[in-house]
């Protein structure tokens, strides 16, 4: 009896190779699935990546299962990571492939974001619902905002981002603690953007990792993180992605520094859900247009880049600490 299993199932973001001597789809032929490395890794349901053409005319693994593996995104391993501490405000042009999770969002204005997985963008809630828009006629639903939102990924030059095109948004989620009507309190300044279609990962588009729950080592004062963005530099919007090393600051020193500082003539609110980055004596900072971008650190244990916070608010540009939501 002649048995043919037809072409093996297509693996998204991967492929298969014939490993049997008879490289065809007939009985007892063997194939092995693989992912497009290093941007995806193989996840199997039964522990097997090898499938054999069975007497029943279907491809089965060693456990008799027909379901094929999946290719999941690899996070936090850029092709060209920033390795040295170098001198946003006072920042430098980011080399291609160094911050491949960087997104540029245009919702209520230009802002930043960080790719998580292959279809989620982490950003600040105030880039979705800006502070101070209490006029009911100005208020839009999340669905209305999602329809107008523009998301750009895949390049370090703004003009090239526009050429690559907008990534349509499916849904928006804003942290329930965020209050757009309180201009002095940025608690819960976190939002998630779900893209309509997953992006294809590669050297210029790669997600950043999230920290393990309960890991507080990245928030020790002096721990060096990196901020990146397309924000204001020398009073004009940057055309190139900038980055700057910004250390985690002492919570006590940051709180003392904030005393007497005003936002619209009122004291800013610094909550337990925030930490500070930067220094009052350094000129490295983020500015308008950088909001929503991630503060990232390199985990020495895994060598992966991790998003530890979101650029949220500050007092001026290049003038001091950056309070950042956890």
307 occurs within a structural domain: yes
Is residue 189 among the annotated active site residues? yes
Could you say which of 23, 38, 73 is where a domain stops?
A: 73
Number of H helices, E strands in the chain: 3, 21
Give the tens place of pLDDT for each residue, 105-153.
999 888 999 999 999 999 999 889 888 765 544 568 889 999 999 999 9
Quick check: is 84 in a domain?
no
Q: Is the peptide bond before 38 cis (omega within 30 degrees of 0)?
A: yes
CATH of the domain at 127: 2.40.10.10
Question: What CATH number is attached to the domain comprising 25?
Answer: 2.10.70.10
290 is catalytic: no
Q: Which residues fall within 8 angstroms of residue 288, CB to CB, at 6 or more apart?
A: 231, 232, 317
Tell me if 52 is assigned to some domain.
yes
Same domain, 223 and 294: yes
Q: Are residues 212 and 315 in the same domain?
A: yes
Neighbours of 74 (CB within 10 A): 18
Q: Which domain holds residue 264?
A: 92-325
- Among candidate residues 118, 189, 204, 285, the one labeled active-site is 189
10 Å CB burial of residue 111 (0-12, 13-18, 19+) is: buried
Has residue 174 been placed in a domain? yes
Q: Is 117 left (phi over 0), alpha (psi -120 to 50) or beta?
A: left
Q: Are residues 111 and 260 in the same domain?
A: yes
Told to judge if 291 belongs to the known catalytic residues of this protein, a careful annotator would answer yes
Question: Is residue 170 included in any domain, yes or no?
Answer: yes
198 and 139 both lie in a single domain: yes
Do residue 96 and residue 67 come from a single domain? no
Query: Residues in the chain with pLDDT < 70?
Result: 1, 84-91, 133-139, 232-237, 260-267, 280-289, 313-326
Q: Which of 73, 102, 120 is the last residue of a domain?
A: 73
pLDDT for 285 equals 46
The answer to whether residue 1 sits within a structural domain is: no
Same domain? 149 vs 243: yes
Same domain, yes or no: 100 and 130: yes
Is residue 87 situated within a structural domain? no
Domain count, the chain: 2
Question: Domain boundary at 25, 44, 73, which?
Answer: 73
For residue 88, the model assigns a pLDDT of 44
Looking at the fold, whether 119 and 259 belong to one and the same domain comes out as yes
Residues 29, 228, 291, 312: which is the catalytic one?
291
Find the catalytic residue in 49, 126, 228, 290. Answer: 126
Whether residue 100 lies inside any domain: the answer is yes
* 130 lies in the same domain as 182: yes
**Which DSSP symbol is given to 296?**
E
**Which among 76, 78, 111 is positioned nearest to 94, based on CA atoms?**
78
105 with 250, same domain: the answer is yes
Same domain? 177 vs 63: no
Spatial CA neighbour of 176 closest among 163, 189, 159, 193: 189
**Residue 263: its pLDDT value, please?**
56
User: Which pTM was predicted?
Assistant: 0.87
What pLDDT score was predicted for residue 311?
86
- Same domain assignment for residues 39 and 148: no
Predicted pLDDT at 86: 42
């Amino acid at each position: 009896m002649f048995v043919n299993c037809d072409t093996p199932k297509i693996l998204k973001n991967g492929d298969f190779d014939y490993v049997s001597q008879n490289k065809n789809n007939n009985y007892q032929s063997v194939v092995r699935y693989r992912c497009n490395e290093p941007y995806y890794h193989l996840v199997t349901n039964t522990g097997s990546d090898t499938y054999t053409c069975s007497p029943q005319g279907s491809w089965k693994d060693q456990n008799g299962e027909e379901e094929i593996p999946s290719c999941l995104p690899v996070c936090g391993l850029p092709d060209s990571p920033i390795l040295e501490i170098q001198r946003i405000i006072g920042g430098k042009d980011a080399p291609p492939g160094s911050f491949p999770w960087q997104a540029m969002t245009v919702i209520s204005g230009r802002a930043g974001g960080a790719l998580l997985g292959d279809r989620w963008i982490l950003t600040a809630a105030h880039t979705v619902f800006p502070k101070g828009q209490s006029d009911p006629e100005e208020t839009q639903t999340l669905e209305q905002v999602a329809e107008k939102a523009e998301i750009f990924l895949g390049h370090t030059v703004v003009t090239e981002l526009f050429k690559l095109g907008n990534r349509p948004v499916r849904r928006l989620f804003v942290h329930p603690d965020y209050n757009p009507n309180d201009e002095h309190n940025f608690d819960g300044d976190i939002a998630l953007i779900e893209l309509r279609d997953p992006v294809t990962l590669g050297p210029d588009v790669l997600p950043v990792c999230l920290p393990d729950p309960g890991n507080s080592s990245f928030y020790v004062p002096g721990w060096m993180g990196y901020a990146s963005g397309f924000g204001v530099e020398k009073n004009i919007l940057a055309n190139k992605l900038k980055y700057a090393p910004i250390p985690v600051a002492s919570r006590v020193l940051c709180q003392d520094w904030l005393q007497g500082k005003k936002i619209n003539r009122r004291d800013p609110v610094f909550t337990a859900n925030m930490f500070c980055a930067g220094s009052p004596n350094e000129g490295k900072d983020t500015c308008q247009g950088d909001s929503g971008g991630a503060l990232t650190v390199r985990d020495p244990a895994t060598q992966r880049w991790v998003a530890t916070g979101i650029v949220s608010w500050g007092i001026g540009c290049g003038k001091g600490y950056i309070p950042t939501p956890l």
